[in-house]
Structure 1
Amino acid sequence: MRRLVLFLLGGVLVLAAVLLARTLGFTTRQVTPEPPAALAVDADAVAARLAGALRLKTVAASEGSAGEDAAFDALHAYLAEQFPRVHAALKREPVGPHSVLYTWQGTDASLRPVLLMGHLDVVPVAAGTEGAWAKPPFEGVVEGGFVWGRGALDDKGSVLAILEAVEALLAAGEAPRRTVMLAFGADEEVGGRTGAVLIAKRLSERGVRLESVLDEGGVIMSGTVPGVQAPVALVGTSEKGFVSVELVVEEEGGHSSMPPPRTAVGILAQAISRLEAHPMPTRLQGGSRELFERVGPEMSFGMRLLFANLWLTEPLVVSQLASKPTTNAAVRTTTAATMFQAGVKDNVLPARARAVVNFRILPGDTVAGVLAHVRDVVDEPRVKLSTLAFESEPSPVSPTDTESFRALERTLRQVFPQVLVSPYLNIAATDSRHLVGLSDNVYRFFPIHLQREDLSRVHGRDERIAVAGYVDAIRFYAQYLRNTAR
């Protein structure tokens, strides 16, 4: 017995030594680059130009609603007027109905181009809710240190900041060695089929292979990672896929006074209940795992101990992440029942019941895998399954050990030296998913510092962007081009 106790004690001591050694070796991975090059930005002027773009109601066409064609035409004319150097020096190609591709030719044709993306379209504002906004959504008001209006954050702020950066570099007489491309879609909010899809097709037909792609996506956030006080720049290295599964049950109708043991509603309700009770499995991988590997060294000792030893603590970490909706999405393909339709009268048995369940697909899972999961869990032949028209596979995970990511990381630490840089999994879809076949290095990040309450402004009420933050975004894009294209 004494030998057993000594053996167990020795094992505990060895384990403690391993845990401690790994924790002490879990040191910062943040870079300390040289200071950025200076860039003069007139805050009032750039805010006014963004405000002018927000006044144009560029809502893309979608099922059941026409697009604002005149607004898109006016926006393109406005951009040509406000950014004369860009339109004189860069080749401009219209793509599809309202999208555009700009090319700033580099001096070294042997280098692969870098591509910066954004989108010109915005989501609509529900009719009758305009009065609830602090500032009218399409009047582009500059007040209180903010530019207010639909599209300020998603995504005209990004597009205009990129154009401001290129205009400023041209004004300073700078020219890239590496070709720079700017791709601005006009239908990202409705799938990108006549914008980014056609841009990707055009580049593919020309045999273009891109060094890197930078689109909207993550932002700089404070208070997002437990135990980390510093703001964190969340760079999307991948994004989740999307599929909505339709479940339909068709049964005999009739009078509710003589019901069968289970009606169409009951059969379908049980199917939904099973799906919610049996979600897809959890995994800590890709950007979600790297997030903790990157910022973990900046935490207190106890938290460092936890994340330095994921080989042992991963089940505990994943269990905690899966317990909250905000973090559950980072570790599994999520299941969300979003629609349920059945019946026409309270005393009539419905002949048909229909439900829709939306899945946001974790990289590593697939649309086909989701459908197989639904079939296995529902296990009811009376429930017919199909998918709705729009679906998207999750993107590959872009590497973080390449010069492309290091340039992005270096730029962030130059312009925002107080910020920690980390990969993460982008939960929402972006146009960049259509270009993953053209580059291994596809990143999703808009260089703006937001508070948690600002997230509801995206697609919501009172969308706005801080003027000071917008100026920093312009400086970021300029420095990023200096780091990647010179």
Structure 2
Amino acid sequence: MKRLLLLLLLGLCLLAGVLVVRALRFTSRQVVPESAAPFSVDADAAAARLAGALRLKTVAASEGVPAEDAAFTALHDYLRAQFPRVHAALRREPVGPHSALYTWAGTDTSLKPALLLGHLDVVPVEPGTEAAWTRPPFSGDVADGYVWGRGSLDDKGSVLAILEAVEALLAAGYQPKRTVLLAFGGDEEVGGHAGAEAMARLLRERNVTLESVLDEGGMMLTGTVPGVAAPVALVGVAEKGFVSVELGVEGEGGHSSMPPKQTAVGILSRAVTRLEEHPMPAELRGGSRALFEYMGPEMPFGLRLLFANLWLFEPLVLRQLSAQPSTNAAVRTTTAATMFEGSVKDNVLPARARAVVNFRILPGDTVEGVLAHVRRVVEDSRVKLRTLDFQSEASPVSRTDSEAWGVLQRSIRQVFPEALVSPYLMVGAADARYFTGLSDSVYRFMPLRLEREDLPRLHGRDERVSVQGYAGAVRFYAQYLRNTAG
């Protein structure tokens, strides 16, 4: 018994040693770049130009509501007037009804182009909530150190900041070595089919391959990573897919006074409950795993030891991440029952019951895999399945060992030296997904710093961007363009 205990103690000491050594070797992945090139921004003038764009109500068409074509036309005219050098030096091609593709020709045609994305459309303001805004949602007010209005964060802020950077670089006589493409879609909020998808198709028809793609996405956030006090610049290296599955059950109908043992609603309820109780498995992979590989070394030693040894502690980490909706979404294909329809009257048996379950697909899973999961879990031939029209596979996971990743990481650290850079998985969708086949370095990052309490402003009330923060975004795009275009 003593020998067994001694061997057990020796084994524990050896394990502890391995864990500690791995934690000590788990070192920072943050780069220490050279200083950024000098670049000045007239923050007030840039904010005023953004404000003017926010006053144009470019809400994309959706569900039978037509787009406000006049607003999009006015916005394109406004951009021409505010950025004359851009429109003189770059080739502009209209694509679809409201989108535009700009080409800034480089001096070395052997280099693959770099693409910067943004979108001009915005989500509508929920009717009846306008009075709850501190400033009217389409006022474009500049007050209290902020530019207020729908689109300031999502995503006119990115588009105007890119144009500000290009206009200033042109004024300084800058000529890119690498060709730069600017793709500004007009319907990202409703799927991007006439905008980004059409522009990506156009590039494929021209046999264009891209060095890199940079779209909106993660931001610089504080307090989102346990044990890390510094702001973290979250760069989306992948995004989840999307499929909604309709479950339908045919019933006999009739009066509720003589019900069958199970009504169509009862059968359907059981199916939905089974799906909620048996979600797809959690996996720490891709962008979610990379987040901890980059942030683990920046954490206190106890957490660093944990993430340096995922070979042992991964089940514990997954259990913790699965416990909260926000982190659960990063490690599994999620299941969300969103619609349920039955009878038209409380005393009538439904002839048909219908439910819709939405799945956001983790990279590595597929639409077909989701359907197979639903069939296996529901296990009821009375429940008929079909997918709704819009669906998309999860994107590939972009490289974090490429020159393009190094350029992006270096650019962020040059302009925001206080920030730590990390890959992550975007649980939402962006126009970038249409360009994944054109480059293996597709990134999603918006160079703005937000606090956690600001996040509901995205698609919500009181959307705004800091005047100084917006100037920082302009500086970032200028530095990124110089770094990536040479």
Question: TM-score over 0.5 for the alignment?
Answer: yes
After superposition, what is the alpha-carbon deviation per residue over 1:285-316, rounded to whole angstroms, capped at 9, x for unaligned?
A: 11101111111111111111101111111110
- 5 Å-filtered alignment, 1:7-18, equals 7-18=7-18
Structure 2: distance between partners of 1:401 and 1:437: 18
State the one-letter code of the partner of 1:483: N
After superposition, what is the alpha-carbon deviation per residue over 1:210-246, rounded to whole angstroms, capped at 9, x for unaligned?
A: 0000000100000001111111000000000001111
- 5 Å-filtered alignment, 1:309-324, equals 309-324=309-324
After superposition, what is the alpha-carbon deviation per residue over 1:233-287, rounded to whole angstroms, capped at 9, x for unaligned?
A: 0000000000111111110111111111111111111111000000000000111
> Where does residue 123 of structure 1 map in the other structure?
123
After superposition, what is the alpha-carbon deviation per residue over 1:335-392, rounded to whole angstroms, capped at 9, x for unaligned?
A: 0011111111111111111111110000000011101111111111111111111101
> Where does residue 220 of structure 2 map in the other structure?
220
RMSD, aligned CA:
0.7
> Where does residue 34 of structure 1 map in the other structure?
34
> Where does residue 262 of structure 2 map in the other structure?
262
Structure 2: distance between partners of 1:420 and 1:217: 16
SS of residue in 2 equivalent to 1:435: helix
Structure 1: distance between partners of 2:386 and 2:240: 20
> Where does residue 338 of structure 1 map in the other structure?
338
Task: Please identify, of 395-404 and 57-66, the stretch whose mean Cα deviation from structure 2 is larger.
Answer: 57-66
Deviation of the 1:26 alpha carbon? 1.1
Structure 1: distance between partners of 2:320 and 2:34: 39
Task: Please identify, of 343-352 and 359-368, the stretch whose mean Cα deviation from structure 2 is larger.
Answer: 343-352
**Is 1:99 aligned with 2:99?**
yes
SS of residue in 1 equivalent to 2:173: coil
SS of residue in 2 equivalent to 1:101: strand
After superposition, what is the alpha-carbon deviation per residue over 1:444-471, rounded to whole angstroms, capped at 9, x for unaligned?
A: 0001001111111111111111111100
Structure 1: distance between partners of 2:255 and 2:206: 64
State the one-letter code of the partner of 2:136: P
Length, aligned pairs only? 486
> Where does residue 378 of structure 2 map in the other structure?
378
TM-score (norm 2): 0.99
> Where does residue 23 of structure 2 map in the other structure?
23
> Where does residue 74 of structure 2 map in the other structure?
74
Structure 2: distance between partners of 1:29 and 1:433: 26
State the one-letter code of the partner of 1:281: P
State the one-letter code of the partner of 1:296: G
What runs of 5+ residues in structure 2 fail to find an aligned partner?
A: none
Deviation of the 1:33 alpha carbon? 0.5
- 5 Å-filtered alignment, 1:249-328, equals 249-328=249-328
Deviation of the 1:2 alpha carbon? 2.5
Percent identity (aligned): 72
> Where does residue 197 of structure 1 map in the other structure?
197
Structure 2: distance between partners of 1:462 and 1:82: 26
After superposition, what is the alpha-carbon deviation per residue over 1:377-429, rounded to whole angstroms, capped at 9, x for unaligned?
A: 11111111111111010000001011100000001110110101000001110
Structure 2: distance between partners of 1:131 and 1:343: 37
> Where does residue 443 of structure 2 map in the other structure?
443
Structure 2: distance between partners of 1:243 and 1:467: 38
Deviation of the 1:10 alpha carbon? 1.5
Moved over 6 A (4+): none
Task: Please identify, of 73-82 and 339-348, the stretch whose mean Cα deviation from structure 2 is larger.
Answer: 339-348
> Where does residue 152 of structure 1 map in the other structure?
152
TM-score (norm 1): 0.99
Deviation of the 1:91 alpha carbon? 0.4
Structure 1: distance between partners of 2:278 and 2:358: 15
Structure 1: distance between partners of 2:118 and 2:249: 42
State the one-letter code of the partner of 1:350: P
State the one-letter code of the partner of 2:94: P
Structure 1: distance between partners of 2:453 and 2:338: 24
SS of residue in 1 equivalent to 2:50: helix
SS of residue in 2 equivalent to 1:106: coil
Deviation of the 1:171 alpha carbon? 0.7
Deviation of the 1:432 alpha carbon? 0.6
Structure 1: distance between partners of 2:61 and 2:117: 20
Deviation of the 1:63 alpha carbon? 2.2
SS of residue in 1 equivalent to 2:353: strand
